[in-house]
Amino acid sequence: MSTVIPSSPEPKASLKARILGTPSAGPFLVLLAFGLIFALTNPRFLATHNLSIILQQTVIIGVLAIGQTLVILTAGIDLAVGAICVLGTIIAGKMVNLGYDPVLSMGFAILVCTAAGLSAGGLISALRLPPFIVTLGILGILTAALRLISAGGAFAVRDPFLAWTGNTLKLGGFVLTYGVLIMVALYAIVWYLLNETKWGRHVYAIGNSPEAARLVGIPVRRHLLSVYLAAGLIYGIGAWLALGRIPNADPNAMQTANLDSITAVVIGGTSLFGGRGGLIGTLIGALIVGVLRNGLTLAGIDPLWQDLVTGILVIIAVALDQMSRRRN
């Protein structure tokens, strides 16, 4: 009936098997391949100046994708990512322009973003509404509200603290922004939470099987609430990073942030069905998108091709995920 697996009690996996078994190996190879192609076709691609630009361009989507990863790991999806982030920039910008203390303004803006994440989580966990619908609703509400608040138009935000994340520093000849450092720190912290703590374990468990999670005593609804809260907090920090890149609060900005963040997560190998994948993959996924944009721009290729290639990558990533699930 079942085949016997001939094995010693505890076989050591070979290096090759271990690499192939790592979920982020595939995305990493894709990143490497694109990097190689661009490096070979254009000497400017590998210049430290250019690599630094790629990182800076990846910062916002890279950070938003952290929150998106958490949500997708629980088998949810967040369509309000961009709207919540823009909400943060508008609140912080408005307050500073009204003369409030910039630290207080940014802190308050991050708090409001966290509250927005929390209310999404509350609707999803308490009323058991599908995440897709709840976040789509929040997207609509916020988009309209933001245009009302800012009377439709974008406005400049001139404040050294709000723009601080865009300041550069030199690290061994490599020019980085504080925003890049914040992104790396956020990845490290959330990676730790996901992989080394009970909280992260339970995120995976809920994404795998909410029923099993409930049966083993995990407070599923409370845990979901904490995931959306953490995501909202991360989007709020993303708002600060966005102001550092472009000192502008624009209610019409970041309209592609939802799809871009989902793209990074999916290309990074995290399953849309929840419970599989991880943050390293997402970072690589965000970098793939960044490298692709940069490389194609350097080569003088029409930007439409970027979206086309990204689209193909998303479909391939989802197809691979489906296939591996079916095999199991």
**Residue numbers of the site for other proteins (CB under 8 A)?**
1-3, 5, 7, 9-11, 13, 192, 196-199, 201-202, 204-205, 208-209, 211-213, 215-218, 275-276, 328
Neighbours of 166 (CB within 10 A): 18
Taking the complex as a whole, the smallest distance from the CB of residue 218 to other proteins amounts, in Å, to: 5
Q: Return the number of the residue (72 or 254) whose C-beta is nearest other proteins.
A: 72
Q: Return the number of the residue (74 or 165) whose C-beta is nearest other proteins.
A: 74
Taking the complex as a whole, the smallest distance from the CB of residue 16 to other proteins amounts, in Å, to: 16
DSSP lists the bridge partners of residue 174 as 171
Q: Return the number of the residue (132 or 199) whose C-beta is nearest other proteins.
A: 199
Say how far apart CA 5 and CA 8 lie, in whole Å. Answer: 9
Taking the complex as a whole, the smallest distance from the CB of residue 182 to other proteins amounts, in Å, to: 20
Taking the complex as a whole, the smallest distance from the CB of residue 319 to other proteins amounts, in Å, to: 18
Which tokens belong to 299? 């080569």
Taking the complex as a whole, the smallest distance from the CB of residue 208 to other proteins amounts, in Å, to: 4
DSSP lists the bridge partners of residue 169 as 176
Q: Return the number of the residue (44 or 325) whose C-beta is nearest other proteins.
A: 325
Q: Return the number of the residue (174 or 199) whose C-beta is nearest other proteins.
A: 199
Q: Do the beta carbons of residue 279 and residue 66 sit within 8 Å?
A: yes
Neighbours of 157 (CB within 10 A): 23
DSSP lists the bridge partners of residue 171 as 174
Say how far apart CA 46 and CA 230 lie, in whole Å. Answer: 35
Q: Return the number of the residue (11 or 130) whose C-beta is nearest other proteins.
A: 11
In the block, tokens 């083993």 appear at 216
SS3 66: helix
Q: Return the number of the residue (13 or 141) whose C-beta is nearest other proteins.
A: 13
Taking the complex as a whole, the smallest distance from the CB of residue 175 to other proteins amounts, in Å, to: 33
Taking the complex as a whole, the smallest distance from the CB of residue 318 to other proteins amounts, in Å, to: 17
Which residues fall within 8 angstroms of residue 30, CB to CB, at 6 or more apart? 267, 288, 313
Neighbours of 27 (CB within 10 A): 26
In the block, tokens 């993959």 appear at 281
